[in-house]
Amino acid sequence: SQTIHQWPATLVQPVGSPLSLECTVEGTSNPNLYWYRQAAGRGLQLLFYSVGIGQISSEVPQNLSASRPQDRQFILSSKKLLLSDSGFYLCAWRRPSSYEQYFGPGTRLTVT
Amino acid sequence: QQQVKQSPQSLIVQKGGISIINCAYENTAFDYFPWYQQFPGKGPALLIAIRPDVSEKKEGRFTISFNKSAKQFSLHIMDSQPGDSATYFCAASMHNFNKFYFGSGTKLNVKP
How many angstroms separate the first and last alpha carbons of chain A? 38
Chain A residues with CB-CB distance to B89 below 8 A: 43-44
How distant is the Cα of B9 from the closest Cα of chain A, in angstroms?
10
List, for residues A9-48, the tens digit of each pLDDT value.
Answer: 999 999 999 999 999 999 999 999 999 999 877 889 999 9
The predicted pLDDT at position B79 comes to 98
Rounded Cα distance between A78 and A92, Å, is 19
Contacts of B78 (CB under 8 A, 6+ apart): B18, B61, B62, B63
Spell out a b/e string for B64-77, using b for 16 or more CB atoms within 10 Å of the CB, else e: bbbeeeebebbbbb
All residue ranges of chain B with pLDDT < 70 are 1
Distances A111 to A15, A48, B25, B57 between C-alpha atoms, Å? 6, 20, 35, 42
CB distance A101–B89 less than 8 Å?
Answer: no
DSSP A7-66: E-SEEEE-TT--EEEEEEEES-SS-EEEEEEE-TT---EEEEEEEETTEEEESS-SSEEE
Torsion angle, alpha carbons of B7, B61, B41, A23, to 10 = -100
The predicted pLDDT at position A61 comes to 65
CB distance A104–B46 less than 8 Å?
Answer: no
B41 touches A at CB < 8 Å: yes
The predicted pLDDT at position A41 comes to 77
Chain B interface disruption, residue of A50, A101, A102, A110, most B CBs within 10 A: A101
Map residue B79 onto helix, strand or coil.
coil
The predicted pLDDT at position A96 comes to 86
How distant is the Cα of A3 from the closest Cα of chain B, in angstroms?
13
Rounded Cα distance between A22 and A8, Å, is 8
The predicted pLDDT at position B1 comes to 66
Rounded Cα distance between B33 and B16, Å, is 26
Contacts of B97 (CB under 8 A, 6+ apart): none
Chain B residues with CB-CB distance to A32 below 8 A: 98
List, for residues A54-64, the tens digit of each pLDDT value.
Answer: 999 988 867 89
List, for residues A81-111, the tens digit of each pLDDT value.
Answer: 999 999 999 999 999 888 999 999 999 999 9
The predicted pLDDT at position A43 comes to 87
Taking only Cα atoms into account, the Rg of chain B, rounded to an integer number of angstroms, comes to 13
